[in-house]
Chain A
Amino acid sequence: MSLLNDSIRNLHKKIQDREIKPSELVSASLERISATDEKVRAYLSVHGEVAMERAKQLDEIPADAGLLYGIPGAIKDNLNTKGLPTTCGSKILETYTSAYDATVVSKLNDAGVVSVGKTNMDEFAMGSTGENSGFFPTHNPWDLSRVPGGSSSGSAATVAAGQVLFSLGSDTGGSIRQPASFCGVVGLKPTYGLVSRFGLVAYASSFDQIGPFTQTVEDNAIVLQAIAGHDPLDSTSANLSVPDYLAALTGDIKGLRIGLPKEYFGEGMDAGVREQIEKAIQTLESLGAVVGEVTLPHTKYAVATYYLLAPAEASSNLARFDGVRYGLRVEGENLIDMYKRTRSEGFGEEVQTRIMLGTYALSSGYYDAYYLRAQKVRTLIKQDFDAVFENYDVILSPTAPTPAFALGSNVGDPVTMYLNDIYTIPVNLAGVPAISVPCGLTNGLPVGVQFIGKHFDESTLLRVAHAFEQAAGFSARASL
């Protein structure tokens, strides 16, 4: 059994007691990667030597070593890591190495984490399967013929494959929670503004948030604690004090009010998913939670709203990839021609589609009908959540309508693909936090239950997720 098959808290104790060294843990992680990643393909780059060198420096263990000291982790490839490649899963950045560290990366380094590599992803975080990676698709460790979900495909798969204790992903419309659900791991999208986005390559700036993937809720709380907090380098970072998330894991949810949105429990939900979610609801009731039906009346408009607003923001954010300051350049007849050739050669099809869509929604004559209208509908969707949270502590739903589907099965109609995000997208529109926790298997594939919380109330979210996890006892792991 691998050293890594343990909780962060236990490993921390073993490190403190000098039972194991950081270098042994990191070495186990790198061995597991070389043994399994040919099949999973979770990584775009593994930096074994850099990681081992750093781990050996950490072998001299200080008395005040924190919970993450010496713990191997992985970073999604849209987070800047100084001196290491950051490609965003795109050919346009194939040769790019970061000039600086993202704030979350600095914070993890300060906590003593050893990053072993950069994880695969849908190009610029646009996609729900990992298949839009400009390099190769990642495979689901539970069934290698299936997708791991996306866009944080590699970050979910590496934790599910037992290669690292945790990873960071980013979530714009579900890109942490949906792959967590597909891969049977815990994935948290924090409240917009809780975690600094400085150094995260922007996709849609008013939605993007960074969050952790882990095997357990407790591990997730530990990583969140390390990365949360105000950052003067991110003007959208909230200036609030960060609570003690581990203290929230009491196991007690008696009287907690859980809302089930009736719009989420209609058509389109896989029968196996429904069965597992209904079991989860019973478990929560047996723990003393009070469950009631609620309504989020504008749910049906969320996907359309998101697919106007996010591409609009993306079309602006991705204007920076122009062949001048970094990345690919394809020469042309003149400056404009150079821009066009560079971008069309460097960006994949989905990215070009979203840039086009966003440019259209923002263009003269269509701005009011599309972009401005979508911003107004966003207000209505946000108000739906505000109204429910007046009477409820959390909202429960499946994370995704189906378990992981086969690689290559969903490449046809873009709208069908986008509708897979129906339970995760409204959360980003409202800016509230949500977590996906494994709740069972259907036909051998993991199903995730999603808890949605109030702004900056990650404590309640983690408390209910933890209580559920302990009671449900989901302990199955992908076998590789």
Chain B
Amino acid sequence: MSITLQEVEHIAHLSRLALSDEQKAKMTETLGKILNFANELQELDVENVAPTTHSLPLKNVLRDDEPRTWLTQEEALSHAPQSENGHFKVPAVMEG
């Protein structure tokens, strides 16, 4: 299975990446090679195999719901490229 330029453009959009035409061409080739290599997994019979998401049998890990000292609003905002009135600031989302 290979990947097309159109698919690369679609995946770049989903990945929130702005690729140049040159980068798209190179990415198509690189991903094609990797996916081609990954196709060796298709030869295995995994019909009755359960997927592993995690190497330890941990389930529903919860800790006590107790407040603890953590970052202040000021500290949390101190790394933001833009902030205003105690909020992170982003470009306008709605038009008009």
Contacts and interface: CB of A to CB of B under 8 A. Distances in A.
Contacts of B93: 334-335
A379 B34 contact: no
Interface string B25-39: 001001101110110
A328 B51 CA distance: 37
A235 B61 contact: yes
A305 B90 CA distance: 38
Interface in B45-63: 46, 49-56, 58, 61, 63
Q: Interface size bucket, A side? A: 35 or more
A96 B79 CA distance: 7
Contact of A375 (B52, B63, B79): B52
Contact of A413 (B23, B33, B41): B33
Contacts of B56: 192-193, 236, 238, 431, 455
Contacts of A99: 71, 75-76, 78-79
A329 interface: yes
Interface string B3-47: 100011001101111110001000100110111011011101010
B24 to A, nearest CB: 10
Main secondary structure of the interface of A (DSSP, over half): helix
Contacts, number: 170
Centre residue among B35, B61, B71, B92 by max chain A CB count within 10 A: B35
B44 A363 contact: no
Chain B contact surface mostly: loop
Nearest to A231: B63
Given A373-B42, A376-B50, A380-B49, A335 B91 contact: yes
Interface of A: 96-97, 99-100, 192-193, 206, 232, 235-236, 238, 298, 300-301, 303-305, 307-308, 315, 319, 322-329, 331-332, 334-341, 343-344, 347, 352-353, 355-357, 359-360, 363, 369-370, 372-380, 382, 413-415, 418, 429-432, 455
Interface of B: 1, 3, 7-8, 11-12, 14-19, 23, 27, 30-31, 33-35, 37-38, 40-42, 44, 46, 49-56, 58, 61, 63, 71, 75-76, 78-82, 88, 90-93
Given A343-B16, A382-B52, 20 more contacts: A206-B55, A235-B61, A300-B40, A303-B37, A326-B79, A326-B81, A329-B81, A332-B91, A335-B91, A339-B16, A353-B31, A357-B34, A357-B35, A360-B7, A360-B31, A374-B41, A375-B52, A418-B34, A418-B37, A429-B55
